[in-house]
Amino acid sequence: MGAEWFEDATARSAVGREARTVAWDATPLGPPSTWPQSLRHAVRLCFSTRFPVMMVWGPDLTLIYNDGYREMLGTDKHPGAQGAPARVVWAEIWDEIGPLFDTVLTTGRPTLSRDLFLLMNRSGYDEETYFTFSYSPLSDDDGRIVGVLDIATETTHEVVNQRRLAALGEVQAALPTTFTHLRNFALPVVKALSGCPDISRAAVYGVTGPQVVLESGEAREADELDLVVRAFRSGRRQVVPGMVVKPVRSDRGSGVLAVLVLRATVVRPWDADYARFMVVMSTTVAAALRDVVRRRAHDDALRLRALRSEQERARATEVSLALQRAVLTDPPKFDDLEVVVHYQPAAAERDIGGDWYDAFATRDGSTFVVIGDVIGHDLGAAVVMGQLRALVRAIGYDSQETPARVLQRVDAAIDGLALGSAATATALVARVERTPGQRPGRLRTVRWSSAGHPPPIVVRADGRSEILAVRNDLLLGMDPGAPRRDHTVDIGPGDTLVLYTDGLIETRDSGLRARLDQLARVLEGTHTADLGSVVQTALSGMLEATADDDVAIVMVRATPDGGSAVGP
């Protein structure tokens, strides 16, 4: 070539040394020995830096570039690009960069492009690339703009990596947190995948067939189904150039729930980074599907357990209510006494109650009335209620002893029969005594004993109400040797004895004494009403629309001319 300056300028550059072999005299530039000083200066600058530099000069915009720029030419454009017209070298992107050259050549103003998308064909295929570069004017010895200097860096790797990270985030955000069936899960996932430029096809296969449940993007290629079948059978991920097939394995055994297919785009090379991205994406989706299916199975198991528990509770409630209905029967008719009983379960039968009542005549002609409340609200409480009611009735009828003595014997039976702490209960036993030969219309003595039960109330024939407040004895079932005391009160014609359980008076908002006083006020003046109406007055005056606890009531009214009994 005979141009010492050119030899010297290209000596430290591999691409520069290759440039010595170019037939420059066949280009518009001519042999390097004829190049003007301005061009020589630009060439020395180009080959002296390791940063990617490309320059064009002359009417054909003839290319000269260095080692750094070599990588941007891919596998096909080098070395033929050296000394060739820029329009020929970059024909596929000339519509994008040609106007930039024109701007610099005509105006002398430099340009700057950041992460500009260029669809190049530099390695035998259309390739998605991104560049940040600046075009600057080059002047000849006379000051005319005859060339362009390109300082460039390829940002494809950074742009694509950022995009893939964003795609992973978008898919992660779209992943369903619940599971009904596979298509519902796949809908938002496939929609998010279809918006990712690095995925040309996404498909979800179900276990039947296997058959596509949902897909987006390009049509299925011939080898896809074979890979899907292989993934189903082996339970292992299949990775081939341009495609990842990911089976979603159940965490309960070796079964496969579904298979996810991701195919790469043809405008990016299939390299380790691309394969890694596709594997991470498929693993993210598979893990989410496995998690929601596991959560659904767990929730289903909890719902089934709750349903069975509710069914068992309902059966227990039904049995308990049947037991209560069986034992809470109508009282018999008594001479000179009117007896009314009432039982009201808690709201919506939420709790199974242990409240009970009873009324019966003994062999000596006395009348026993009983009311009680077993501690607890379950089937066991209902069973114990039936046992205690039977004990009180049997002992009271057979022994003809006082209420205190009856309760003592019940305590002993609880201990002797080993009924345990489940048989803990409040109870009040009252005996309306009748003297042999006593005529109707005379005073009757009521002898009663309380095992921790709310006190009785007497509504006198003149409408006044009296709370029979005494010191309570211990609850049943706590101490078989606990002492019991009897108390007495006389009732005459028109007087009413009122027994009740704590469900009528207990609330969270008021004290027990205040509620007792309230019940006494509610009952005042009810002496002229029939006992059924008195019961309703007590209920409406003391309870809200729904009761939080069971309520049992027994009312006994002395009558001057024979009595009757009324059931619940």
What are the helix (H) ranges across 25-155? 37-48, 67-70, 86-89, 94-107
- 48 closest CA partner among 11, 5, 18, 80: 11
Structural domain count, the chain:
3
pTM of the model: 0.60
Lowest mean pLDDT among 237-241, 345-349, 528-532, 542-546: 345-349
Q: Is the pLDDT of residue 1 over 50?
A: no
349 or 240, higher pLDDT: 240
Structure tokens at 7: 């030899």
- 410 closest CA partner among 393, 396, 392: 392
pLDDT the model gives residue 352: 57
Structure tokens at 559: 């009558």
* 347 shares its domain with 258: no
* 269 shares its domain with 372: no
Structure tokens at 317: 């409630």
- Model pLDDT for residues 185-209, shown as the tens digit of each residue: 999 999 999 999 999 999 999 988 8
* 149 shares its domain with 186: no
Q: Could you list the residue range(s) of the whole structural domain that residue 332 is in?
A: 328-566
Assigned domain for 160 exists: no
Q: Is the pLDDT of residue 2 over 60?
A: no
Assigned domain for 342 exists: yes
Task: Determine the Cα–Cα distance for residues 189 and 215; give it in Å rounded to an integer.
Answer: 10
* 79 shares its domain with 226: no
- Coil/strand/helix, residue 394: helix
- Coil/strand/helix, residue 182: helix
Q: Are 49 and 28 in contact (CB under 8 A)?
A: no
* 278 shares its domain with 364: no
Q: Is the pLDDT of residue 568 over 60?
A: no
* 146 shares its domain with 174: no
- 531 closest CA partner among 342, 254, 383, 308: 342
* 452 shares its domain with 386: yes
- Coil/strand/helix, residue 56: strand
- Model pLDDT for residues 517-554, shown as the tens digit of each residue: 999 999 999 999 999 999 999 999 999 866 678 899 99
pLDDT the model gives residue 254: 61
Q: Are 251 and 292 in contact (CB under 8 A)?
A: no
Q: Reading across the β-sheet that carries 145-154, which strands appear in turn?
A: 62-65, 53-57, 145-154, 127-139, 111-120
- Model pLDDT for residues 296-308, shown as the tens digit of each residue: 888 888 888 988 8
The domain that holds 202 is classified in CATH as 3.30.450.40
Q: DSSP state, 300?
A: H
- Model pLDDT for residues 149-162, shown as the tens digit of each residue: 999 999 999 999 99
* Cis preceding-peptide flag for 210 (omega within 30 of 0): yes
pLDDT the model gives residue 6: 97
* 10 shares its domain with 120: yes
The domain that holds 49 is classified in CATH as 3.30.450.20
* 49 shares its domain with 84: yes
For all residues of the chain together, what is the average pLDDT?
A: 91
* 454 shares its domain with 498: yes
